[in-house]
Amino acid sequence: MTKATIIGSGIGGIATAIRLAVKGYDVTVFEANASFGGKMHQFDLQGYRFDAGPSLFTLPHLVDELFTLAGRNPSDYFTYTRLDPITHYFWPDGSQLKAYADAETFAVEAEQQLGVKAQDVRDVLAKSARLYKGTADTFLHKSLHRLDTYLSADVLKALGCLSDLGLTTTMHDANTRLFKDPRFVQLLDRFATYNGSDPYQAPGTLNLIPHLEHNIGAFYPKGGIYSIAASLVKLAEELGVAFRYNERVERIITQNGKATGIETSSGRYNAEVVVSNMDVVPTYRRLLPDQPAPEQTLQQPRSSSALIYYWGIAREFPELHLHNILFSQDYKKEFEHIFRHKSISPDPTVYVNITSKMEKSDAPAGCENWFVMVNVPHHQGQNWEQLISTTRQSVTDKLSRMLQTDLSKLIACEQVLDPLLIEQQTSSYAGALYGSSSNNRMAAFLRHPNFSSKLKGLYFCGGSVHPGGGIPLCLLSARIVGSLLPVVTPANKSKQHA
C-alpha cells in the first residue's frame, strides 16, 4: 500500500487521515503530545470538565461527511443538537440581545431590544447567505493555487458576487453603512474574530461569516467539542490509521525534489505522501531548514491569539447561556490594543462558554464550568505574567458588574492558557490561533496552499493554510488535500465495515 505520513493530530490532520485511508493509503499520524486533538483537547480540574480549545461548532455536515465517506452512519459515532439561542450578548449600557437560531425570530428580537429595523436584519442575513453560496465552491472548497479552480463553472457564480463582496471596504465600514446602531454594528464586526482578524482592517468580504451561525446554525455536540476529535479518531483507527503519540517529528526527509518521509527521535519513516498539520512557519523553519521557504507567505501578519481563564464557579447563573459575549465600550480601541499596541485593552470584550448548561456532569452539583476568553495579540515578547494578572482583574470586574455579584469569591479553581502555552502545546507560531490574519483584501490568496509547489508529495492542512482556521475551515483544508490525491487501491471494504 502507498504510505502516507501525517504530522500532527489536530482536527485537520485527523480528517485528512480518514480521507486518505478511504482512498487506500496506509496512514500513520505522528503526534508530539500524549494524545490527539491539537487545540481540541479536554481536561478535568477538581471535578470540572473543560473543552480547552474551540468552543463553537458550525457546519456539522463536514464531520458527518467523513463517516459517510467511510460507509458509516454518523449518528452511531457522533450526535449534536442545534442551539437556540446561539449567543447571549451584553453591552455596557445594560442592553442585551439573544441571538435566536431562527433568522426571523432573531430579526424581531433585534428590533425589540436594540431598535434595529427587523427588515434590515433580514436583508443583511439574506445577503450573507447569497454571497456565501455564490463563493464557497470557489474560495473555500477548492485550492486557490491551482489553475483548474478558475476554469470551473463555479467561478461564474463567484464573479456574479464580486460587486457585493466588499473587497474595497472594511467590515466595519460596510456594517456602518447598513446600520446606525453601534451595538448591532459591534455584533456584526465581532465575526472578524472567527479567524483572528480586525474588523477595522479586514475586508468586507468577511461579512459573509454570519451566514454560518444565523442561517445554517450553531450546534452543540454531545460530550462537548472534544467528542468531535474523539469520534473521528475512533473512525480513523477502525480504518487502519495508526497514531504514534509522544513522537515529535524532527525533520521532513527530501530527495530529488520530493518528500520521501519523516524522521523522529525514534527513527526514520519512509512515505510517498507527507502531510503537515503543523503551523506552516515551524514546518519550514524546523522540519525543512534546508529547503527554500516561501518568505512572503511566512511573513504575513499573524492573527490574534487568546487568553483563557478556566474557572470552576461555585454557583449557577440562570441568566447566562452556553455562549455569552460581554462587549467592550470602545471596540475600535480594543482592536488597536491587539494589532497596533500588541497589548490587551483595559476594557476587553469577554466571551464566556459554559458547557455545563448543556451537560450537568461537566461541573459539580450547583456549580458551573466557565471558559472565559479575551482576544489578545500573538506573542511578541510581552510580559504575559503581568498581562494575565491585570486582565484577570478587568474581566472579573466586568462580570461582577453585569451579574451584580463579587465573582472573585466564587472562583473555586482556575487554570490559565496564554499565547506562550498555545505555541508550546500546539506548535502554533507565536501562539497565533489562525496562522496569518485576514487584515488585507489579498490575505486569502497569500495563505500557504494545501500542497508544495517545490516538493512533490508534500501537502498541508490545518488552520495556518488555505482556507484558514477554526473547526469547519480545518475540515475543508482536509477535504482539499483529499481531492488532490488519487485513489491508490480499490476501496478497502473489509476495513471500512469492520
The domain ranges of the chain are 3-39+62-67+224-299+435-484, 82-120+166-221+302-426
Q: What pLDDT shows up at residue 163?
A: 84
**pLDDT band at 150; cut points 50, 70, 90:** confident
- pLDDT at residue 312 is higher than 60: yes
Sequence-ordered list of residues with C-beta below 8 angstroms from that of 313, at least 6 positions apart, any chain? 363, 367, 368, 369, 370, 407, 410, 411, 412
Q: What pLDDT shows up at residue 426?
A: 95
Average pLDDT, rounded, for the chain:
95
- pLDDT at residue 497 is higher than 80: no
CA distances from 331 to 185, 186, 346, 375 (A): 10, 7, 12, 12
Tell me whether the CATH fold assigned to 3-39+62-67+224-299+435-484 matches the one assigned to 82-120+166-221+302-426: no
Q: Is 472 helix (H, G, I), strand (E, B) or coil?
A: helix
Q: What pLDDT shows up at residue 225?
A: 98
> What's the grid cell of residue 95?
442592553
Q: What is the pLDDT of residues 153-180, one digit of tens each?
A: 888 888 888 888 888 999 999 999 999 9
The CATH number assigned to the domain with range 3-39+62-67+224-299+435-484 reads: 3.50.50.60
Higher pLDDT, 444 or 286: 286
Block residue for cell numbers 473489509: 494
CATH of 82-120+166-221+302-426, one of 3.30.70, 3.90.1150, 3.40.50, 3.90.660: 3.90.660
